[in-house]
Amino acid sequence: MRAAGAFAAQVVDWQRRCGRNDLPWQNTQDPYRVWLSEIMLQQTQVATVRDYFTRFVERFPDVKSLAEASQDDVMGLWSGLGYYSRARNLHRCAQQVMTQHQGAFPSRSDALETLPGIGRSTAAAIASLCFGERVAILDANVKRVVTRVTGFDADLALAANTRALWEAAAALLPKLEDAGKAMPRYTQGMMDLGATVCLPRKPACSTCPVQSFCVATAAGDPQKYPVRTRTLKRSSQSIWLLWAQSVDGAVWFSKRPTPGVWAGLYCLPLFDSEDAMLRSVPPHLRVELDAQPVFTHVLTHKDLHLHPWRWSLPSEAMSWDEGQWMGAQDWPRMGLPAPIRKLLQQGLSA
Give one DSSP letter per residue of 259-288, joined into a string: SSTTTTSEES-EESSHHHHHHTS-GGGGGG
Going by their DSSP bridges, the two strands 251-255 and 290-291 should be labelled as unpaired
Instruction: State which residue, 79 or 141, has the beta carbon closest to ligand SF4.
Output: 141
* Cα separation, 316 vs 321, whole angstroms: 14
Instruction: State which residue, 211 or 324, has the beta carbon closest to ligand SF4.
Output: 211
CB of 150 to ligand SF4, least distance (A): 10
Instruction: State which residue, 111 or 205, has the beta carbon closest to ligand SF4.
Output: 205
Instruction: State which residue, 118 or 169, has the beta carbon closest to ligand SF4.
Output: 169
- Residues 6 or more apart whose Cβ sits within 8 Å of residue 189: 11, 12, 14, 15, 19
Q: What does the radius of gyration of the chain's CA atoms come to, in whole angstroms? A: 24
Q: Where are the alpha helices (DSSP H) in the chain?
A: 6-18, 31-41, 46-59, 63-68, 71-78, 85-100, 109-112, 120-131, 140-150, 159-171, 179-192, 215-219, 274-279, 338-349
Give one DSSP letter per residue of 191-220, joined into a string: HHIIIIIS-SSS--GGG-TTGGG-HHHHHT
The CB density around residue 202, as the number of other CB atoms within 10 Å, is 8
* Cα separation, 295 vs 339, whole angstroms: 9
Going by their DSSP bridges, the two strands 270-271 and 251-255 should be labelled as unpaired
SS3 91: helix
Q: Which one is catalytic: 38, 113, 177, 288?
A: 38
Q: Is 288 one of the annotated active-site residues of the chain?
A: no
Instruction: State which residue, 165 or 198, has the beta carbon closest to ligand SF4.
Output: 198
CB of 216 to ligand SF4, least distance (A): 5
The CB density around residue 283, as the number of other CB atoms within 10 Å, is 8
CB of 212 to ligand SF4, least distance (A): 8
CB of 41 to ligand SF4, least distance (A): 20
CB of 44 to ligand SF4, least distance (A): 23
Instruction: State which residue, 217 or 246, has the beta carbon closest to ligand SF4.
Output: 217
Q: Do residues 309 and 289 lie in contact, with contact meaning Cβ atoms separated by under 8 Å?
A: yes
Question: Which residues in this chain contact ligand SF4 in the complex, by CB under 6 A?
Answer: 145, 148-149, 197-198, 203-205, 208, 210-211, 214, 216-217, 222
CB of 62 to ligand SF4, least distance (A): 37
Any idea which residues carry the catalytic annotation?
38
